[in-house]
Amino acid sequence: MTLSRTPPDAPDTLLIVLGDQLDRRADALDALDPRRDAIWMAEVEHEISRVPSHKRRIALFLSAMRHFKNDLQATGFTVHYHELHIDASTDRGGTFGEVLAADLTRLKPKRLMVTRPGDWRVLRDLEETAVSAGLVLEIVEDAHFMCEPATFDNWIAGRRRILLEDFYRFMRKRHRVLLGDDDQPLGGAWNFDADNRASFGREGPGPLPTVPRFAPDETTAGVLDLVAARWPTNPGELEGFAEPVTPKQARTALATFISERLEKFGDAQDALWQGESELFHSRLSAILNLKLLDPREVIAAAETAGRQSRAPLNAVEGFIRQIIGWREFVRGVYWHFMPSYADLNALSCDDRDVPKFFWDADTDMACVADAMRSVLKLGYAHHIQRLMVLGLFAQLVGVHPYRFHEWHMALYLDAVDWASLPNTLGMSQFGDGGIVGTKPYCATGKYIDRQGNHCANCRYAPDVATGPKACPFTTLYWDFLARHREQLGEIHRMGFQLRNLDRKKPQELAQIRSEAGQLRERLLRGEKC
Ligand code: FAD
Ligand code: SF4
């Protein structure tokens, strides 16, 4: 354990700062007096190993935490910081709660405070630890977010339907984003999504601007050595680690996105292209979720670019909708419906895990292999790869929605419980039965073919459902519809897809379902396709 300056007396207030709360502007930090109060942070093996975390993800969290600790100390704060070491025998072991409990006994703070954690389980763990130490845990709302859980609860109260679009308009008006002088939406519409569904066409995306990379400094280099030595068999690559780990670097990443990629963000939002996962996406999610970047700053930068005609409105509106709309919406859903949300399994899936190639990219499906290579290399895949390639495959196979969430938590740099759970279990797997999305996102391989160039380089054919050339997505899609026919029949927006299912000749459908069954069995045995 590294102890920075030890206060002579017990701190009046001990503020717990978690690994995704690296926000210098946090209200809880503002409330501290460095002369009397102290901060507590911990790297805990147990948290890292709960799921087999991607090496890059561990490195990002630890490096950003250590930079944050250094910054706090440089401005006069006392930080009690538990560091993990290459030699594990010198660590303080135990769970997060156990490590904290031992320090509460030793430090004897009068008050214990934390900003609302991003994980319901962690919140409960901290509350229980506090009670055992005879303290009440004071929870400060996280001002990083633009919609407090209570405001979301009020917004939801009495609504017949919970729709992102309604919430998004509420948030635009509430925060006066992209509004004209007449309080009407800029450009005359709230949403330009119809302009944002293009693919690149045969010529592809053309030369792509590079995403800024940040050479590791001494702190990051130490973390990289630690991760390489301690978790050598964990998934993912460390080589070429160049993620932003400080607020300054995060702002550079934002500025580069606004000047080089925002312009085409809208047009290319749903497009896929072999070997390219970053395309015109911002790659800001991980640094936003660690709180190195403030969403208001991100929105203001995009809005200014739009008002100054440096980016078209469909791109600016589409991007801002992701931040003030989707990001805040899924967090609202998380806190409104937890803890029971995590148990939802609307399609009654068996306790089935993700296929083996979700860990090693060893599959003949060109679209899945490409997305998985990006995940293993960068801890990143863009939204359509997550939703309409990897998520779609998991859903069609029948992976349990919570298992899909656990897998996602392990491998993505931006995965934190409040964001991952509604997106994986809800939006992607329809496990919540229609809270986050109004219908399952299900499609055949033909959708993937339309959005990019993978199918041209694949041993399968997207429009074939049976036989050796059958695209697994297409085979599994019809089987998925037939398997859940009754339940999906109650969803109005599934009508078109189900009418197409009903047009299939019984013999053809029986053949598809038999091949789908064999495929699902093979995947259960760990075989590839
Ligand atoms: P861009 O495409 O540039 O989008 C801009 C920003 O909007 C993102 O940085 C992100 O902060 C925000 N955003 C967009 N969509 C969402 C959304 N649905 N939920 C939350 N924020 C959103 N995002 C996470 O931050 N953490 C997760 O754990 C996560 N899990 C996901 C799991 C699945 C199955 C799916 C389909 C989506 C998930 N998302 C998650 C949402 C989204 O895919 C990522 O935020 C996005 O791909 C990150 O890349 P980017 O920064 O380049 O985003
Ligand atoms: Fe993916 Fe099917 Fe296209 Fe192959 S044919 S790339 S598996 S959608």
**pLDDT (tens digit per residue) in 457-491:** 999 999 999 999 999 999 999 999 999 999 999 99
At residue 3, the pLDDT reads 47
Element (H, E) at 113: strand 111-115
Assess whether 198 and 308 both reside in one domain: yes
At residue 9, the pLDDT reads 66
Q: Taking the mean position of all CA atoms in its chain, how far away is CA 352?
A: 22
3-class SS letters over 170-212: HHHHHCCCCECCCCCEHHHCCCCHHHHCCCCCCCCCCCCCCCC
Residue 316 lies in a domain: yes
Q: How many domains does the chain have?
A: 3
- In the reported structure, the alpha carbon of residue 191 is separated from the centroid of ligand 1 by a whole-number distance in angstroms of 18
Q: Is the peptide bond before 117 cis (omega within 30 degrees of 0)?
A: no
pLDDT at 8 over 80: no
Atom 8, ligand 2: residue with shortest CA distance: 445
Average pLDDT of span 140-163: 96
Atom of ligand 2 nearest to the CA of 445: 8
Residue 98 lies in a domain: yes
Residue 135 lies in a domain: yes
Computed on alpha carbons and rounded to an integer, the radius of gyration of the chain in Å comes to 24
Is residue 326 lining ligand 1, measured as CB closer than 6 Å? yes
Residue 466 lies in a domain: yes
Structural contact between residues 230 and 53, judged by C-beta atoms closer than 8 angstroms: no
Residue located via tokens 């290459």: 86
Is residue 420 lining ligand 1, measured as CB closer than 6 Å? yes
**pLDDT (tens digit per residue) in 253-271:** 999 999 999 999 988 889 9
- In the reported structure, the alpha carbon of residue 188 is separated from the centroid of ligand 1 by a whole-number distance in angstroms of 27
Assess whether 36 and 114 both reside in one domain: yes
- In the reported structure, the alpha carbon of residue 520 is separated from the centroid of ligand 2 by a whole-number distance in angstroms of 17
Assess whether 190 and 304 both reside in one domain: yes
Residue 398 lies in a domain: yes
Assess whether 331 and 380 both reside in one domain: no
Q: Please state, in angstroms and rounded to a whole number, the distance separating the CA atoms of residues 391 and 384.
A: 9
Residue 229 lies in a domain: no
Domain boundary among 122, 140, 158: 140
Which class for 71: exposed (0-12), middle (13-18), buried (19 or more C-beta within 10 A)? Answer: middle
Assess whether 66 and 86 both reside in one domain: yes
What is the domain extent for residue 175?
149-209+261-337
The domain that contains 41 carries what CATH number? 3.40.50.620
Residue 189 has, within 13 A of its CA and on its CB side, a CA count of 10
Q: Please state, in angstroms and rounded to a whole number, the distance separating the CA atoms of residues 280 and 139.
A: 38
Atom 20, ligand 1: residue with shortest CA distance: 327
Q: What percent of the chain is predicted at pLDDT more than 70? A: 98
Which class for 352: exposed (0-12), middle (13-18), buried (19 or more C-beta within 10 A)? Answer: middle
At residue 194, the pLDDT reads 80
Residue 224 lies in a domain: no
Assess whether 191 and 302 both reside in one domain: yes
Residue located via tokens 């700053």: 297
CB atoms within 10 A of CB 493: 12
Assess whether 321 and 453 both reside in one domain: no
The domain that contains 329 carries what CATH number? 1.25.40.80
**pLDDT (tens digit per residue) in 156-171:** 998 989 999 999 999 9
Confidence bin at 7 (pLDDT 50/70/90): very low
Assess whether 384 and 456 both reside in one domain: yes
Assess whether 430 and 515 both reside in one domain: yes
